[in-house]
């Protein structure tokens, strides 16, 4: 057995196990009892979990001792058994690990407040940690993992407790929340720098959020420390189903992110709540294909590409044959579209009548948003079907990840294909708190990257689990992209992943800063998919202010704001005309660098949107009497 420190000096990547508690829960252990006590009362069950992870490919397994400190054992009357529980846990893990897998002594937060936020002193906290650490050492662990900490002062006492009695390596992991910081507001770069100073050998993140948030934080940490990094996220956010917590991040999704963790500098990857041996098996397979390590475990075939997995009897529909919209994009022809919101009620007649004007004007497609800003409207999918069947113009269906779990999304998409829809714009979706029903729940099993992967698989005759579905779908896969993103590097990185996942074109957020768009297009010039620019004709200064301040990713320049203010001071009509003029100017300024345009119809008025197309020569040549605003 090598010394764990040898791993720190190697160029390889190593795999931690997944959630022990999740597996014990799956095996029938209810949450109203101490899982740590199982080391004494059900050692075979605990050993079985460890063996599952070792067999799945974990290089390091953690002891079942996350809550085995005095304060956390007290509610169960087990504080006097603290030493026995921790020693037994280490020995059980050692038996399961054999001589090829390392055993990490798992230490979690104390579950109480320490100074200056609580009555427990630093020294008292350190002694509580030391009590557990001594027992784990006696049990024979190879290293320590401090996990799911939110307070730097608390994890500092845990590190000091270990260093006073042992020179074993320390993996120190914090947990972050949705805002990318710990519960107490500490940023990843701040706590990474401090953990480096304290002498942690590996600095990382676990629990808290799903892989996407962990990846963003990991990239910030890499900038402030040269220590090895670790990432053990939850399998997404939990969903409560009849009192039981389910984590919906699929093994394939977690495996894909593990590779991104490694690309961002992580040396150790694994999983936390909701991850299972299946997750760990796919994570190990994903990262070891790229790891220079040559061991018996390295004989894992690199995951096959979607094309390689395509059933032999499946004929994938070429992108240019999927729809007229897709064909024009494939041929490099300029495409035109207008975004029209679904109706608020169940009567779509007025919406369809306005969309008929688009067909008459020669617009290529109508874009149907999917619950933008978390508003309640008719199903975008149903609206798209009505548009194609009753109006005869192609629809580009916006499809977001917010409202459906993986199964629901797959069912929707198969149904959309059967109903004749072929053009998709895949987006993550606005959170419910932005809309009129902030207490509504969101699902977000996967984000737009994961959904792009799913649709690409469906186009190759496969479901998300790589099972044949028979006739493949024939979707033209579009994704959103935001030239005005606050974190532009992250936006570009996510865009690259979307293209890697199968995106064939992209539509931008509404563009009001054309220089910003040109700069962005230069930065993504290495990604060879067509970009369709979003153009939004403003109707008032108030409308411009709203978009600039309340719609994420939209940047209205000061010059345009001032133009709209002056026009609005004159009259509503002047403001509307100025907004259309600005949209025309914006379109002409970027026409040479984009593959098409999506014009939003303000307040559902497609006539305003059509006036923007007057800037294009081909539309100027067409008779527009039928769409006159008179």
Does residue 133 sit within a domain?
A: yes
Judge if 269 and 334 occupy the same domain: no
- pLDDT above 70 (res 384): yes
Separation CA 417–CA 397 (nearest Å): 11
Separation CA 66–CA 64 (nearest Å): 6
Beta bridge partners of 533: 597
The residue among 449 and 165 whose pLDDT is bigger is 165
Judge if 284 and 410 occupy the same domain: no
The DSSP annotation for 70-113 comes to HHHHGGGT-GGGHHHHHHHHHHHHHHHHTTTSEEEEEE---SS-
Q: How confident is the model at residue 564 (pLDDT cuts 50, 70, 90)?
A: very high
Q: For residues 163 and 199, is the Cβ–Cβ distance under 8 A?
A: yes
Mean pLDDT of 275-293: 78
Q: Domain end: 303, 330, 360, which one?
A: 303
Judge if 374 and 232 occupy the same domain: no
Q: Domain end: 246, 276, 303, which one?
A: 303
Judge if 281 and 423 occupy the same domain: no
Q: For residues 185 and 157, is the Cβ–Cβ distance under 8 A?
A: no
The rounded radius of gyration (Å) of the Cα atoms in the chain is 28
Does residue 568 sit within a domain?
A: no
Does residue 572 sit within a domain?
A: no
Does residue 187 sit within a domain?
A: yes
Mean pLDDT of 196-205: 96
Does residue 584 sit within a domain?
A: no
The residue among 520 and 442 whose pLDDT is bigger is 520
Judge if 264 and 358 occupy the same domain: no
- pLDDT above 90 (res 365): yes
Judge if 387 and 268 occupy the same domain: no
Any residues with CB less than 8 A from the CB of 172 and at least 6 apart, and which? 146, 149, 155, 158, 159, 195, 198, 200, 202, 203, 204
Judge if 64 and 189 occupy the same domain: yes
Any residues with CB less than 8 A from the CB of 204 and at least 6 apart, and which? 171, 172, 173, 174, 218, 229, 230, 231, 232, 266, 268
Mean pLDDT of 411-438: 80
- pLDDT above 50 (res 212): yes
Does residue 325 sit within a domain?
A: yes
Number of domains in the chain: 2
Does residue 193 sit within a domain?
A: yes
Judge if 298 and 334 occupy the same domain: no
What pLDDT, in 10s, does the model give residues 586-600?
A: 999 999 999 999 998
What is the residue whose two structure tokens read 């599952």?
52
Judge if 298 and 381 occupy the same domain: no
Start-to-end CA span in the chain (Å): 84
Give the residue from 342, 348, 318 showing the smallest Cα distance to 330: 318
What pLDDT, in 10s, does the model give residues 436-480?
A: 555 565 666 677 888 898 899 999 998 876 788 999 999 999 999
Mean pLDDT of 269-295: 78
What pLDDT, in 10s, does the model give residues 215-250?
A: 889 999 999 999 999 999 988 765 544 444 555 567
Judge if 180 and 232 occupy the same domain: yes
Q: What is residue 503's predicted lDDT score, i.e. its pLDDT?
A: 94
Average pLDDT, the chain: 87
Domain range enclosing 298: 4-303
CATH number of the CATH domain containing 475: 3.20.20.220
């Amino acid at each position: 057995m090598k010394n764990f420190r040898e791993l720190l000096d190697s160029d390889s990547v190593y795999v931690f196990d997944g959630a022990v508690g999740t597996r014990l829960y799956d095996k029938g252990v209810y949450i109203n009892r101490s899982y740590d006590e199982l080391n004494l009362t059900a050692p075979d069950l605990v050993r079985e979990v460890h063996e599952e992870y070792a067999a799945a490919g974990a290089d390091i397994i953690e002891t079942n001792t996350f809550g085995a400190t005095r304060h956390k054992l007290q509610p169960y009357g087990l504080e006097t058994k603290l030493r026995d529980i921790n020693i037994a846990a280490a020995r059980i893990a050692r038996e399961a690990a054999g001589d090829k897998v390392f055993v990490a002594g798992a230490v979690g937060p104390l579950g109480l407040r320490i100074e200056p936020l609580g009555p427990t002193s630093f020294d008292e906290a350190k002694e509580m940690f030391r009590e557990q650490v001594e027992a784990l050492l006696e049990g024979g662990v190879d290293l320590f993992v401090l996990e799911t900490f939110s307070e730097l002062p608390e994890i500092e006492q845990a590190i000091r407790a270990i260093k006073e009695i042992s020179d074993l390596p320390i993996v120190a992991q914090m947990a972050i929340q949705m805002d990318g910081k710990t519960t107490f507001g500490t940023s990843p770069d701040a706590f990474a720098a401090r953990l480096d100073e304290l002498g942690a050998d590996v600095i990382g993140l676990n629990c808290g959020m799903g892989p996407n948030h962990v990846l963003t934080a990991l990239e910030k940490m890499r900038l402030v420390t040269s220590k090895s990094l670790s990432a053990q996220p939850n399998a997404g956010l939990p969903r409560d189903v009849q009192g039981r917590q389910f984590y919906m991040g699929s093994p394939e999704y977690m495996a894909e992110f593990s590779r991104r963790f490694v690309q961002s500098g992580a040396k150790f990857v694994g999983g936390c709540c909701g991850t299972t041996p299946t997750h760990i098996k796919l994570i190990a397979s994903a990262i070891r294909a790229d790891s220079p390590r040559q061991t018996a475990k390295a004989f894992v075939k690199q995951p096959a590409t979607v094309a390689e997995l395509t059933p032999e009897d499946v004929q994938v529909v070429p992108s240019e044959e999927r729809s007229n919209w897709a064909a024009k994009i494939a041929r490099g022809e300029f495409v035109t579209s207008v975004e029209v919101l679904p109706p608020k009620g169940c009567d779509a007649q007025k919406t369809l009548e306005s969309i008929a004007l688009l067909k008459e004007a020669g617009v290529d497609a109508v874009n149907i948003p999917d619950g933008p800003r978390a508003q309640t409207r008719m199903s975008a999918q149903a609206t798209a079907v009505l548009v194609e069947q009753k109006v005869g113009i192609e629809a580009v269906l916006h499809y977001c990840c917010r409202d459906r779990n993986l199964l629901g999304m797959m069912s929707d998409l198969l149904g959309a294909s059967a109903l004749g829809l072929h053009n998709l714009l895949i987006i993550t979706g606005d959170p419910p708190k932005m809309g009129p029903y902030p207490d509504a729940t969101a699902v977000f099993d996967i984000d737009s990257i994961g959904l792009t992967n799913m649709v690409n698989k469906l186009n190759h005759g496969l479901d998300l689990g790589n099972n044949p579905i028979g006739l493949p779908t024939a979707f033209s896969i579009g994704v959103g992209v935001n030239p005005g993103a606050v974190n532009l590097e992250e936006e570009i990185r996510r865009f690259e992943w979307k293209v890697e996942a199968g995106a064939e074109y992209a539509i931008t957020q509404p563009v009001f800063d054309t220089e910003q768009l040109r700069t962005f297009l230069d930065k993504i010039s290495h990604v060879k998919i067509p970009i369709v620019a979003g153009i939004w004709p403003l109707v008032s200064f108030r409308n411009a202010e709203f978009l600039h301040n309340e719609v994420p990713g939209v940047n209205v320049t000061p010059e345009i704001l001032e133009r709209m203010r002056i026009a609005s001071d004159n009259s509503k009509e002047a403001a509307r005309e100025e907004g259309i003029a600005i949209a025309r100017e914006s379109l002409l300024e970027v026409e040479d660098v984009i593959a098409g345009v999506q014009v939003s119809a303000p307040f559902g008025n497609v006539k305003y949107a059509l006036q923007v197309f007057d800037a294009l020569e081909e539309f100027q040549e067409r008779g527009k009497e039928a769409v006159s605003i008179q």
